[in-house]
Structure 1
Amino acid sequence: MINFKDITYLKEGTVRQKEAHKTLLELNVFQLLENYNPILVGTIPIDIDVESSDLDIICQSDNHEEVIKVVCENYGEFSGFEVRTISSYKNLKTTIITFEYKTFPIEIFIQNKLPEKQDSYLHMLIEHQVLLEENVAFKSKIITLKQQGFKTEPAFAKLLSLKGDPYKMLLTYGFEKGYIS
């Protein structure tokens, strides 16, 4: 299993993963956010990204303003810079900071929850395990659905015939299969 907590795995990956690694190093984002336990999640780490895929970095902090200040000081001048806070997601305050750097849209998510327990990380672990167990055609179908506009979790839910909220059902599926505990 890939250690997704250490981005060095990207150096040996696809062209896009290597570009992501280089970009993250240029931005020095993991060192800048090291006190907030950053983890790269999403489609790029598991090689199901499409051209518009972004770099999603999840972090943990009970002081969102502190993280916002650090990010603003370092990336506030970048194209598309925006900060928004959602207070209703699972009754958990979530701040999302977005900006663009070179060819990548970047999103930094802040919650006061261990990154390893955040849904986006758990979804990625489940999706990675499914991809390991399925064939290449399955992966191609996921990418095709994403190119057609599907978000990742709904694409997996469709191909796995999961009914209901795809985000919740994917977590349930992962728990039932023993992919996450």
Structure 2
Amino acid sequence: MHSLQSNSFLGTDYLQSGTFKQQELFRDLEEWKILKSLHGFKPTLAGTIPLDIDTETSDVDILVKFNVPAHLQKICYAKFRNLPNYTFSEKTMDFRLTLVCRFETKKFQYEIFGQSLEPTEQYGWIHMMVENRFLKLADPSFREEIRNLKRQGIKTEPAFCKVLDLKGDPYKTMIQWNQKTEDQFRELLIQKGFQINPN
């Protein structure tokens, strides 16, 4: 397991020196005080923009932890209800209550995803960490293949499993790969014809 202390994805500083889209996201988060508004819920960015595999239609995923579901609903309503296409819903995922708040600014579509788990224990984060390990190890053609599949409307986890020829439920498969070693990641990439980045 990778240490959380040294994980740059836990903050937003990396966005400031990142791609154009990442820098734009940093400014948007600041302008609308989105993470500040969610301060008590440990807001953590996940998804495709942090990984630089986003497409034109990618939204921004923010993972949060709630203790009392109604508190999150109240804050989201107070802070974001006046933004375009605001919705708030609840569903059950893996037997766990999950709250989803969506809204838009002029530049981005946002999805706040709340569970009673720490953001770094939620599947959205674990998927991102596994995807990041593949992206860091593989040559740039791997990232392009993922992005091309996403442009065709394929979701992120299924896109990774398709490129890597991994069978079964893509969401569960990504969770299983969180337990694998760096050598196993390398081995699979080489087997699928990708060059490995020198460290």
- Regarding TM over 0.5, the answer is yes
After superposition, where does 1:109-124 map in structure 2 within 5 Å? Answer: 109-124=113-128
Runs of 4+ aligned residues of structure 1 deviating over 4 Å after TM superposition are none
Q: Which residue of 149, 156, 162 corresponds with 2:160?
A: 156
Q: Which residue of 173, 185, 197 corresponds with 1:169?
A: 173
User: Contact between 1:127 and 1:156, CA under 8 Å: does it hold in 2?
Assistant: yes
Structure 1, unaligned runs of 5 or more: none
2:144 paired with 1:140: yes
Residue 133 of structure 2 corresponds to: 129
Q: Once the two structures are aligned, what percentage of the paired residues are identical?
A: 34
The two structures, once aligned, show a CA RMSD in angstroms of: 1.3
TM-score by length of 2: 0.86
2:65 paired with 1:60: yes
Question: Hey, what's the Cα distance between the residues in 1 that align with 2:101 and 2:111?
Answer: 6
Amino acid at match of 1:100: E
Question: Hey, what's the Cα distance between the residues in 2 that align with 1:13 and 1:2?
Answer: 15
Q: Which residue of 95, 103, 108 corresponds with 2:107?
A: 103
After superposition, where does 1:58-97 map in structure 2 within 5 Å? Answer: 58-87=63-92, 89-97=93-101
User: Contact between 1:41 and 1:58, CA under 8 Å: does it hold in 2?
Assistant: yes
Q: Give the structure with higher Rg (CA).
A: 2
Q: Tell me, what secondary structure is at the counterpart of 2:71?
A: helix
Q: CA deviation at 1:109?
A: 0.6
Question: Hey, what's the Cα distance between the residues in 1 that align with 2:100 and 2:141?
Answer: 34
User: Contact between 1:81 and 1:97, CA under 8 Å: does it hold in 2?
Assistant: yes
